[in-house]
Amino acid sequence: MASGNSEHPLSDSVIVRLKKHSKQTSFLKVGRTLIARSLAPSEVEGLKQLFALFDVSKAGRVTIGQLELGLRKLGYAILSSQVSELVASLDLTEADVISSEEFVSALLPSSIAASEEKIWEAFSKFDEDEDGFISVKELEKVLEKQGFKGNAESMMQEADTNNDGLINFDEFAHHFGKQTLSIKPTTITRRKTIAPVSVTLLLETEKARSSDV
């Protein structure tokens, strides 16, 4: 747990969100990372700044040691084994590092990650033949194209709630936490401008929610 004299407010916020994201399904992590990769730099500027606190080598990725050192500097007491487990659960490429996109995807607020437009854009990346469904074969293609490791059949089972061997948009959106859809996917025809992530708002929101995690 965090030390009582933590001098930096980011420690609790970052670790809480990273741990929460690490417990999500592999399919959801892949989808959120695709969303993170599609965002304009201005939309995630604040989260990129947070990432830079850990990425001291400016390599665009954070190692186990860098994450542990960064968290300790922020006043968070955490075991090396816990950091290793955290990185392993967030690392979609099995490279023993956390990329900037993986980091951003873990910290994305629901206003972006669960927006219908972003969910539809992510769904479209999987649905390559545009038939309205995601098949295991399409999952495999996306994983390979994006450089992700993972079992496509297992991911299918995570989101295919009606067990028909396919993932439709409703199942996809539900997996992202969207319970109801106010607009049809076909009406989402162009990219909307989303307000940049506010670090201050992120921390204030996390502070209010952290007691429930």
Query: Where is pLDDT greater, at 129 or 7?
Result: 129
- pLDDT band of residue 203 (cuts 50, 70, 90) is very low
Mean pLDDT across the chain, nearest whole number?
Answer: 81
For the entire predicted model, the pTM comes to 0.75
Contact between residue 63 and residue 97 where contact means Cβ atoms under 8 Å apart: yes
In angstroms, rounded to a whole number, what is the distance separating the alpha carbons of residues 53 and 50? Answer: 5
In tens, the pLDDT along 116-145 reads 888 999 999 999 999 999 999 999 999 999
Helix (H) or strand (E) run with residue 67 in it: helix 64-73
Residue range 60-79: average pLDDT? 89
pLDDT of residue 184: 52
Residue 201 three-state SS: helix
DSSP 191: P
Q: What angle do CA 146, 149, 154 make, to 5 degrees?
A: 115
Kindly give, in sequence order, each residue whose CB lies less than 8 Å from that of residue 211, ignoring residues fewer than 6 positions away.
Answer: none
Q: Which of 24-38, 133-147, 191-205 has the lowest mean pLDDT?
A: 191-205
**Domain 10-109 matches domain 112-187 at the CATH topology level:** yes
Burial of 164 from C-beta contacts in 10 A (0-12 / 13-18 / 19+): exposed
Is the four-CA dihedral 135, 122, 204, 54 of positive or negative sign? positive
DSSP state of 134: E
Q: What is the pLDDT of residues 138-184, one digit of tens each?
A: 999 999 999 999 999 999 999 999 999 999 999 999 988 875 555 55
**Tokens in use for 59?**
């390599």
Residue 12 pLDDT exceeds 80: no
Q: What value does the mean pLDDT take over residues 28-43?
A: 91
Distances (CA, A) of 196 to 24, 61, 176: 24, 22, 20
Segment 71-93 shows an average pLDDT of 88
Over residues 105-121, the mean pLDDT reads 86
Short-list 9, 211, 17, 207, CA closest to 108: 17
- Judge whether residue 205 has pLDDT over 60: no
CA atoms within 13 A on the CB side of 101: 18
**Domain residue extents for the chain:** 10-109, 112-187
CATH 1.10.238.10 fits 10-109, yes or no: yes
Say what the pLDDT of residue 78 is: 83
User: Taking the CB of residue 212, how many other CB atoms lie within 10 A of it?
Assistant: 6
CATH classification (class only), 112-187: mainly alpha
> With contact defined as beta carbons under 8 Å apart, do 34 and 154 qualify?
no
